[in-house]
Structure 1
């Protein structure tokens, strides 16, 4: 009996605690809704600063208040703070429990991304919105625009890449051309220098230039015989002696012929 009573007491306490938690959650949700309602009125009056404070109060009262987070993100869109708007809307999409809430969050996320020129990301956001509500024609229309925008951006990126590749190729070709021209000029300079050196003698004079020094002296002075070479006078004396000797030999031959004796006319080697 005591065990049964203890169990009943425990169950009663748990039930009471659960009811208390539910009451607190309901009260927090009610307060959060009131803050959101007040913030929406301030937005209509274009009092964005005060509206932001009320939305933040709603989120502080109930962290899972999708309405508070979503509307705060939407208010940032109106203020032009797209980065903060994207953060809050993404947060709302993640904690949303109904398809309707998710659809609205993703739809607005797509709009923010389009404003930021992030068209391909916007395509994915609109697709997520349509997954939660395939009947929304406005989302479908925005998806079409996002696809066109994404395709144009892709083409522009391809064109820029091609232009960059062409520019890089031209720069490379120009560099190679300049390098070749510079090398050709260097090679030509080296060749000209070599040809110039070949035309010079050991003393550095051009080979086709002759030294005229002493030419006048050569014309004025008789040519001296080189060592081992006879002078003209010596040659003349030798010729006379040879003639005299030949004459004597001829006379001797004639005398021998008269005696009938044959003589040798060939020379021994």
Structure 2
């Protein structure tokens, strides 16, 4: 049992190596076929035959996923057609499968160009930095990196200005809205005050009308009471108190009659005295002595 187990252990690496060699061989064959398709696609692209070139690049990529050149060239083809979304996908694939620094540098350099076209300056800066890590001597990549930083600075400033303008407009809108709300409130308050004044005037008018009605009603009640309780002068003659009867016009009161009689009596006395006085002067009387 130990011998069989030992043989099995020895035979396993042999089988594994054989299988690995077979897979490597197949991969190399696929890569060679993919390169041939890429070569044909390059020729068609030079002849401005984009449709056939695109088809052969796709076949090349499908034949061997390790063919970074097919992905990179297809990305260039899309870039020239302004299909930046498709170009981004192919450049990214080329950078991930590149076998050399030169291939990685080219993939990320062109990836940075795609980001610049889309005005995604932050991503462009990172792509150019990755390209320089693989080839620090490329001055074109360095120039593009500096340009991306400058464009980002201007873009940030423009965004800040736009934000400030938006904030100003927002503040103005809020201010206008507040003013409108205040004006509406003032108008509403004015309407409420006017309604209150109108209601007050109406109430006052109704109160005045009620007061007049009350006065009329009291007047009628007083008149009715007077009718029920007639004044002494309004009583029938047979019901009046003679003592309380006022004198008739051109008729003297008892007091006046008394005063007149007294005045006549006094006047009569004065006349009598005058007559008597004259008699004494004519014949003075002799006084008899009172012994």
For 1:10 and 1:204, locate their aligned partners in 2 and report how far apart those are by CA, in whole Å.
118
Aligned residues: 229
- Of 68, 76, 85, 1:83 maps to 85
The answer for the alignment partner of 2:73 in structure 1 is 71
For 2:98 and 2:30, how far apart are their aligned partners in 1?
Answer: 17
For structure 2, the 5+ residue unaligned runs are 217-222, 233-243, 248-254, 260-291
Q: Deviations over 1:99-155 (max 9, x none)?
A: 221111110001111112222221111111112111111001011111111122212
SS at match of 1:30: helix
| Counterpart for residue 132 of structure 1 | 134
1:203 to 1:98, Cα distance in 2 relative to 1, 3 A: same
User: Which residue does 1:241 correspond to in 2?
Assistant: none
1:202-221 to structure 2, matched below 5 A, reads: 202-204=204-206
1:162 pairs, out of 148, 160, 164, with 164
Matches of 2:62 and 2:203, distance apart in 1: 102
Structure with the larger helix share: 2
> 1:133-148 maps to which residues of 2 (within 5 A)?
133-148=135-150
1:195 is aligned to: 197
Partner of 1:41: 43
Conserved in 2, the CA contact under 8 Å of 1:35 and 1:58? yes
Gaps of 5+ in 1: 215-223, 238-243, 249-269
Give 1:176's match in structure 2, choosing from 154, 169, 178.
Answer: 178
Rounded Cα–Cα distance in structure 1 between residues aligned with 2:29 and 2:37: 12
CA shift in 2, pair 1:206/1:56, >3 Å: same
In the superposition, relative to structure 1, how do residues 35 and 197 fare at CA in structure 2: closer, same or farther (>3 Å)?
A: closer
Name which of 105, 125, 131 aligns with 1:123. 125
The structure-2 alpha-carbon separation of the partners of 1:43 and 1:204, relative to structure 1 and needing over 3 Å to count, comes to: same
| SS of equivalent to 2:102 | helix
- Secondary structure in 2 matching 1:159: helix
Q: Quote the Cα distance in structure 2 between the aligned partners of 1:10 and 1:179.
A: 87
Tell me, in whole angstroms, the C-alpha distance in 2 between the residues paired with 1:182 and 1:82. 54
